Structure 1
Amino acid sequence: MRIVYLHQYFRKPTDNGSNRTYEMARRLAVRGHDVHVVSSSSTVDEAFTEQLDGFSVHWLPVPYDNTMGIGERLKSFVEFALRSSVTGRMLRGDVVFATSTPLTIAIPGIASTLLRRSPLVFEVRDLWPAVPIAMGALGAPWMRALAHGLEKIAYTASTHVVALSPDMKDGIVATGVPAEKVTIIPNASDNELFAGREEEGQAWRARHDWLGDRPMVFYGGTIGKVNDVGYLVRLAARLRSTHPEVRIVVVGTGNEEQAVRAEALRLGVEGENVFFLPPVPKFEVLAIFAAADVSVSTVDDIPVLAANSANKVFDSFAAGTPVVINHEGWLADLLRASGAGLVLSPQDLDGSAQRLGDYVTDREALRSGGRAARRLAVEQFDRQMLADRLAEVLEAAAGPAALTTGTRARRALRRGA
C-alpha cells in the first residue's frame, strides 16, 4: 500500500537529531509498502524528490531550525502545513500518517484525506497544545482556543492515534478520545547499531585531555527552554566541591545555548567540569554514548513535560549506558523498576548533585545499571519490534483492500490522473 508520511523535521542518519521517521520509513518499505515522506529543508530553494533506502522523500523549501524564536517557528509551521497539504494530496496515499510536533501537521494530514476514503493516522510525539501553553508560547486566549480546536479536529479526523508514551496516551484520552483508538509506540533502541562500540568510546575519551578516564555525564540534544540544560550547569557548580573529577559533556545546540553557557561562565564551571561541544550526526554519537558512564535527559520543572519519550533515553538503553533524568512520569517509573538509571529531584540541587556524583563514581552501580538498560533496549524497545507494531496500525487503518488490490494512487497514475 502507499503510505504518505508527513513529518516537518525529517532527518537522515548523517544529520543530527531524531531518526525515528527514517528508521520507521525504511522498515515499512522493507515490508513491501510504497512509502513517501513529505518534509521541509532549510537548504533548498525549490521542492525536489530524493530516493533514500527504499522510500521517497519529498523535500519542500521551508526553513526551520532550533534557534528560531516563537514567531519564526509559527511562520514555518504554517508555511509547511500549506505546502505539504498540496504535496500530500497529490501523492494519493492509501493511508496518511502525520507525525507531530508541531500540531499544525494535522492540517496537511486532514487535507490529504479530505473527500477520499484514505484514513488518517495521527502520531503524538509531545502533548500539543498542552506543552507550548505550559511553556507560555501561546499566551493569547485566542491562540490557545485555536490550538485546542485544531487538537480536537485532529483527533476526530483520525482513524487511529499513536502516542509515544503511556502518559501521552492518558493525556489524549483525557480529551475524550476512546482508549482503544490510541496505541502506544514509544521511541526505540537501535540495538545492532549501538552494540560493540567500546573501543570507539575509549578512543573518543583519549582525544579529550580534559576527560581521560574521569567519570563522564553525557547530555546530547537540543539546548532549548523545554530541556533546561541549565540544571546540569547548576549541578556542576555543586559537583566541583563534592566530586571534582566528574565531567559533564553537553553535545548540541539550540536557542538557549548562549544563556546556558553564560550561566556556566558565571558559575565558573565551563572548561572546568562542564564542556560544550557542537552537535554531531547519529553515527558519531555512537562513540560518545560508549564513552559515557551515564547519559542524562533533562526537562524544565513543568508537569506536562514528564510525559516525554526522548530519543536520547532509548539510544542510551541501546548503548547499555545508564540513564539519569530529573522528572517524574512513566520514564521515572521505568528506571526505578528496572534499575537502569537514576531519578533526580529538579528542586533539590544539593541532594541531586550528591546522588549523581556518588552514582557515576560507583563502578558496580554503573555496571548493574548498564546491564538493566541493555535489557530494556532488547526486550521492550527494540526498533524492529516497534516498527512492526506501527506497520500493523497503518495496515489495519488502511484495510485489507489496500494490501490485496494495490494502491488507488497507482491505479490513478496509470489512468493519467
Structure 2
Amino acid sequence: MRVLYLHQHYSGPGGSTATRSHVFAEALAARGHDVTVACGRYAGAATGLEGTFRRGHREGRAGRHRVVEFDIPCGNAMGLAARSGAFLRYAARAARLAGSGRFDLVVASSTPLTVALPALVGRALRGTPFVFEIRDPWPELPRAMGGVPRMALAAMERLADAACRRAAAVVALSEGMAETAVARGADPGRVHVVPNGCDLRHLGPHISSWRPEEAAPWECLALYAGAHGRANGLGTLLDAAAILRARGEMRLRVVLAGEGAEKPALMARAAAEGLVNVTFLDPLPREALGRLQAGCQVALHLLADVPEFAEWTAPNKIMDGLAAGRPVVTNQPGRAARIVEDGPSGIAVPPGAAAALAEALARLAHDPALRDRMGAAARRQAVTRWDWRLLADRFCEVVEGAGEGNLPRSPSLLWPLGTDSRGLRPETKKGRGFGGGSPSPDLPSP
C-alpha cells in the first residue's frame, strides 16, 4: 500500500522533538508498505535530509521510508499569526500530494488541525481514504486556554467535525481525546486509542550519563525537557525553586532543557531572583537528551492549571521519565496522575501548587531509596506497557484496516495490559486490546 503520512512537525531521532511519526512510518515500511512522510521545518526537529531546498522542498530517505520536507519554518517561539501562516502554507503544499492520486491512503497527524485539509482534499478529488490522528484535540484545547479569536475557533470546529466524520479511522492518543472525536460524529467503532510510548533504545540504565557543569556531585537533578510555552506553566516550577532556595535546600537543582516563547522571561526571572539552583539548557538531540536523563535523578511533567489538560493531553515527558527509570513528578490530575501513581512510579501534586511541588522534590532529593524504588517501578511500566514497538504494531493494524476497508471495530478503546487510557481496570469490559504481546521482530526500538 502506498501511504502518504502527513505530519508538519515530523522529526527523526536526530532531533530534540517527538519521534512518534518516525517510529510509525518505519513500522509501516517494515511491513512492506511504501511510505512517504511530508513535513515542514519544525524548530528542534531533524529530518535527516541534508540537501538544499529546490522549489521549496527537498526529499530523500530516512531509514525505510521517504521524506518530503517543505521549506516552511515553524516553532513554538513564533507568534500566533506566523504559526497560522505556516500551518496554511503547509496544508496547501501537502494538498498537492494528497490530491495527486499517487497514494492509496493518507495518514493526517494533528496538530496542527490544518493537516486535515489535504486529507479531505485527497478524499474529495481521488476518493483516497484517510486516517485522522489526534495528538492534541483542537479546538477544545485552544478554547480552554483562551486567546484564540472566535472566528478561528469556529473554523476549527467545522474542520474538526469534517475530519472526524469522514476519516476511515481515527487514532487518538488518549481515551479523553477519543471521546472528543466521538462527540464530533466519528463512528465509535472506528476510533482507536494508541497512546504515546517509551523509547527504550535511547533511554534507560544502559545509557551513559551526563550532567551540566554547574551541577555539584551531591545535587539531585530534577529535569524538565520540553517546550517552554504558556501551556507548560513553568512559572510554577520557578516558584518551587524559589521556595527551596529560601529554605536553604542545597540538595536539589532544577534543570530545564528546551525552547519556547516563555523561555526568555523565565531565564530573566531566574536571574533577577538569584535562583542559582536553576539551570537552563538549549534543546538537545535525542541521544544527548538520553544521556542527560541518565544523569538526572527525577523527571518532571508540568502543565499550566487548565482543567481540560487532565484527560486531553498525552505528553512524551512522562514516557521519557519512565523509560529512563526515573521517578516522575507531575502536577496534572487525571491520566498523568494515574500513570505516575501506578507502582508508584513517582509523585502527583495539584496543578499550580508550588509548595506541594517543592515538597515533592525535596522529599525525593533526601531519599535515594525512595527514588530507586519509584525508578524501578517506572522502568517496569516502560518495558511491559509502553514499548513503542508494541504500539507501532497496533497503529499499523488500524492503518492497514482503513486502507483495505475492513477496519476491525474497537468498541472498548482498550489500551495495553487490560487498562483503558484512564488507567482503569475494565473487568467488565470485553473487546479488542493491543498490548501485552511481543513486538514485531524486524522492527528496531526507536
TM-score, normalised with respect to structure 2: 0.85
Counterpart of 1:171, as a letter, is T
1:305 aligns with 2:309: yes
CA distance in 2, matches of 1:314, 1:248: 19
Partners of 2:331 and 2:352 within 8 A in 1? no
What CA deviation, in whole Å up to 9, does each residue of 1:55-78 have, x standing for no partner? 100111212122100010111111
What CA deviation, in whole Å up to 9, does each residue of 1:231-274 have, x standing for no partner? 211110011134332000001111111111122223321xx100
What CA deviation, in whole Å up to 9, does each residue of 1:328-375 have, x standing for no partner? 121211212331111112233223311221123211211111111111
1:398 to 396, 403, 425: 403
Question: What is the SS of the residue equivalent to 1:41?
Answer: strand
Partners of 1:3 and 1:33 within 8 A in 2? yes
The aligned counterpart of 1:72 is 82
CA distance in 2, matches of 1:175, 1:110: 16
Does the C-alpha gap of structure 1 residues 401 and 312 become closer, same or farther in structure 2, counting only changes over 3 Å? closer
CA distance in 2, matches of 1:154, 1:280: 34
1:373 to 364, 369, 378: 378
The aligned counterpart of 1:62 is 72
Partners of 1:219 and 1:249 within 8 A in 2? yes
Partners of 2:229 and 2:260 within 8 A in 1? yes
What CA deviation, in whole Å up to 9, does each residue of 1:113-169 have, x standing for no partner? 224343110000011111112222423x22221111111011111011011112212
The aligned counterpart of 1:52 is 62
CA distance in 2, matches of 1:347, 1:401: 46
Counterpart of 2:282, as a letter, is P
Partners of 2:164 and 2:185 within 8 A in 1? no
CA distance in 1, matches of 2:169, 2:175: 16
CA distance in 2, matches of 1:3, 1:252: 32
| Equivalence map 1:97-116=2 (5 Å) | 97-116=107-126
Counterpart of 1:263, as a letter, is R
Displacement after TM superposition at 1:24 (Å): 1.2
1:389 aligns with 2:394: yes
Question: What is the SS of the residue equivalent to 2:186?
Answer: coil
The structure where helix makes up a greater share of residues is 1
Partners of 1:64 and 1:76 within 8 A in 2? yes
What CA deviation, in whole Å up to 9, does each residue of 1:150-206 have, x standing for no partner? 1101111101101111221223233343332211111111213323335x21xx13x
CA distance in 2, matches of 1:153, 1:367: 48
The aligned counterpart of 2:267 is 261
CA distance in 1, matches of 2:342, 2:288: 31
Displacement after TM superposition at 1:400 (Å): 7.1
Displacement after TM superposition at 1:210 (Å): 2.9
Does the C-alpha gap of structure 1 residues 87 and 118 become closer, same or farther in structure 2, counting only changes over 3 Å? closer
Counterpart of 2:354, as a letter, is L
Query: Mind listing any 5+ residue stretches in structure 2 that lack a counterpart?
Result: 43-51, 408-446
The aligned counterpart of 1:183 is 192
1:23 aligns with 2:23: yes
Q: In percent, how many aligned pairs have the same letter?
A: 34
1:149 aligns with 2:158: yes
CA distance in 2, matches of 1:35, 1:9: 17
1:288 aligns with 2:302: no
Does the C-alpha gap of structure 1 residues 348 and 230 become closer, same or farther in structure 2, counting only changes over 3 Å? closer
1:127 to 137, 155, 161: 137
Query: Mind listing any 5+ residue stretches in structure 1 that lack a counterpart?
Result: 403-417
CA distance in 1, matches of 2:81, 2:324: 38
CA distance in 2, matches of 1:365, 1:195: 18
Question: What is the SS of the residue equivalent to 2:202?
Answer: helix
1:244 aligns with 2:254: no
1:90 aligns with 2:100: yes
Partners of 1:167 and 1:329 within 8 A in 2? no
1:118 aligns with 2:128: yes
CA distance in 2, matches of 1:4, 1:32: 14
Partners of 1:81 and 1:108 within 8 A in 2? yes
Taking only aligned residues, the RMSD between alpha carbons, in angstroms, comes to: 1.9
The aligned counterpart of 2:7 is 7
CA distance in 1, matches of 2:365, 2:118: 46
Displacement after TM superposition at 1:91 (Å): 5.8
Partners of 1:38 and 1:88 within 8 A in 2? no
The aligned counterpart of 2:203 is 194
Question: What is the SS of the residue equivalent to 2:393?
Answer: helix
Counterpart of 2:93, as a letter, is R
Does the C-alpha gap of structure 1 residues 61 and 351 become closer, same or farther in structure 2, counting only changes over 3 Å? closer
CA distance in 2, matches of 1:52, 1:361: 44
Displacement after TM superposition at 1:41 (Å): 2.4
Question: What is the SS of the residue equivalent to 1:191?
Answer: coil
Larger mean Cα displacement after TM superposition, 387-396 or 61-70? 61-70
What CA deviation, in whole Å up to 9, does each residue of 1:304-332 have, x standing for no partner? 22221111211221111111111112121
CA distance in 2, matches of 1:193, 1:210: 23
What CA deviation, in whole Å up to 9, does each residue of 1:379-413 have, x standing for no partner? 111111000000000011011799xxxxxxxxxxx
Counterpart of 1:396, as a letter, is G
Does the C-alpha gap of structure 1 residues 44 and 264 become closer, same or farther in structure 2, counting only changes over 3 Å? farther
Partners of 2:101 and 2:126 within 8 A in 1? no
